[in-house]
């Protein structure tokens, strides 16, 4: 089970949103680079980064910060947030990011996803962010009117290397992830799935581990770390446990 501590970057700071609401955000003291260093010191191997400025603008706004993290620490990093062009994907792969997450752009244009998978084999992760069964796009401000499972079935053979499923209703709420829905998604997906949204305690990590034989590769932990609900040393003990 891969554990992905999360770093969400906005205005050069680490922040966390509640249900993706930019008006409901908490800023944290440590810089993104210092936060990454903290994770590295404790033995974490994977990192989930979201460029929230990028999600709003469609540009790789925080490329310099992400580049510094890549160069300074030996992480396997997945990055998302406003990746809408082949050039943006190339910018991230060129600096050594392991997986580039496509969200809104892939949902609005399946051909973009297909071409990205062909041009960047084993580098593309698909971020499916759902609310009440429907995919949300554009920083979660817009309902795509597409059912998550219907969309997934339509792109399942494109060659996506990882799928990140987030239940928006749970994100930042610390009410436990939607394990049931994630398991359904994993049952349909041709690639391994990462659990995202709502992790509240170490018990959620342990529950996720029980699902590793069901095409579930890992779990993202964000707000619960920053708010101290999950102690980092306790979480680190679960890396190879």
CATH number for the domain harbouring residue 92: 3.20.20.70
How many folded domains does the chain comprise?
Answer: 1
Asked if residue 39 is part of any domain, the answer here is: yes
The pLDDT, as a whole number, for residue 169 is: 84
Mean pLDDT of 233-240: 91
- 241 domain-assigned: no
* Res 168 pLDDT > 90: no
Per-residue pLDDT, averaged over 109-113, amounts to 97
Say what the pLDDT of residue 237 is: 94
> Per residue in 59-82, pLDDT tens?
999 999 999 999 999 999 999 998
Mean pLDDT of all residues in 154-181:
90
Host domain of residue 110: 2-236
pLDDT at 161 over 80: yes
Q: Does 55 map to a domain?
A: yes
Provide the annotated active-site residues.
8, 129
- Residue 142 in any domain: the answer is yes
Check residue 142 and give its pLDDT: 66
Nearest-angstrom CA–CA distance, 191 and 189: 5
Average pLDDT over residues 168-187: 87
Mean pLDDT of 48-56: 92
141: pLDDT strictly greater than 70: no
The predicted structure's pLDDT at residue 140: 59
Task: Kindly give the pairing relationship between strand 2-10 and strand 13-18.
Answer: antiparallel
Average pLDDT of the chain to the nearest whole number: 92
User: Measured between alpha carbons, how far is 172 from 209 in angstroms, rounded to an integer?
Assistant: 21
Q: How confident is the model at residue 132 (pLDDT cuts 50, 70, 90)?
A: confident
pLDDT single digits (tens) 193-221: 999 989 999 999 999 998 877 899 999 99
Q: In sequence order, what DSSP letters do the residues of 97-139 get, joined into one string?
A: -SEEEE-HHHHH-HHHHHHHHHHSTTTEEEEEEEETTEEEETT
Per residue in 184-195, pLDDT tens?
999 999 999 999
CA nearest 94: which of 126, 61, 70? 70
Let me know if residue 144 belongs to a domain.
yes
- The DSSP output letter for 27 is E
Statement: residue 241 has pLDDT above 90: no
Say how far apart CA 162 and CA 153 lie, in whole Å.
15
């Amino acid at each position: 089970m891969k554990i992905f501590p999360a770093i969400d970057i906005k205005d050069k700071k680490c922040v966390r949103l509640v249900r993706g609401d930019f008006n409901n955000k908490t800023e944290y003291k440590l810089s993104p680079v210092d936060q990454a260093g903290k994770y590295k010191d404790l033995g974490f191997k994977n990192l989930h980064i979201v460029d929230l400025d990028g999600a709003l603008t469609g540009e790789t706004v925080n490329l310099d910060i992400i580049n510094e993290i890549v160069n300074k620490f030996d992480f396997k990093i997945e990055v998302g947030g406003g990746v809408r062009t082949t050039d943006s994907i190339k910018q991230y792969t060129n600096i050594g990011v392991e997986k580039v997450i496509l969200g809104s752009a892939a949902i609005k244009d399946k051909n973009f996803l297909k071409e990205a998978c062909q041009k960047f084999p084993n580098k593309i992760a698909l971020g499916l962010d759902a609310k009440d069964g429907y995919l949300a796009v554009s920083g979660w401000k817009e309902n795509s009117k597409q059912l998550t499972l219907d969309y997934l079935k339509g792109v399942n053979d494109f060659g996506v290397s990882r799928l990140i499923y987030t239940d928006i209703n749970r994100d930042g709420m610390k009410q436990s992830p939607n394990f049931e829905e994630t398991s359904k998604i994993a049952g349909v997906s041709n690639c391994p799935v990462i659990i995202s949204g709502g992790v509240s305690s170490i018990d959620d990590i342990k529950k996720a581990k029980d699902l590793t034989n069901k095409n579930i590769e890992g779990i993202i932990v964000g707000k619960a770390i920053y708010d101290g609900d999950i102690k980092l040393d306790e979480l680190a003990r679960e890396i190879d446990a």
